[in-house]
Amino acid sequence: MFPERLRALRRGQHITLEQLAAALNAQAAGPDEHANTASQIGNWERGIRTPSFIEVRKLAEYFDVTMDYLTGKAERDEYDLGRLFLSGKQLSFNRELLSGQDRYEIYQLIDGYLHGKENRFSDPEPNQQEELDLHLDDH
């Protein structure tokens, strides 16, 4: 699964093996890390070699996916919003950076919404919809 996902991510961004190697080498390297090469990444994509944990982490960071996605443990569009809001990652909404307080309040709103759903939708008439009045005509 890893070779196919790596190849798909790289080709999806229209980058060569050389470009990916250069990008990985530009990431902060520890003292024990060796420079990445195009042939090395090609071997990963063909399943000939297996990258180290550090290399998989660098790939995940570069492509902005999880290590679980890269290794086939999870699908790409599986995101646990609770974990995301509680993570240390910077989050934004409509290009506006969310503060720690914003993140906490949004988390609480989502949590309250999900826990209150059973009370809101317990009406016996399944086709009845609530009307949302946004007062768009009132200024």
Each residue of 80-134: pLDDT tens digit? 777 777 777 788 888 888 888 888 888 888 888 888 877 766 555 555 555 666 6
| Cα distances (angstroms) measured from residue 77 to each of 30, 64, 65 | 30, 12, 9
Instruction: Give the integer Cα–Cα distance in Å for 92 and 47.
Output: 37
Parts of the chain belonging to CATH 1.10.260.40: 2-71
What are the tens digits of pLDDT across the range 12-58?
Answer: 889 999 999 999 998 866 666 788 999 999 999 999 999 999 899 99
Task: Say whether pTM exceeds 0.85.
Answer: no
Write the single-letter amino acid at 58: K
CATH topology of domain 2-71: 434 Repressor (Amino-terminal Domain) (1.10.260)
The DSSP annotation for the chain comes to -HHHHHHHHHHHTT--HHHHHHHHHHS---TTPPPP-HHHHHHHHHTSS---HHHHHHHHHHHT--HHHHHTSS-TT---HHHHHHSSS--EETTEEPPHHHHHHHHHHHHHHHHHHHHHT--S-TT---------S--
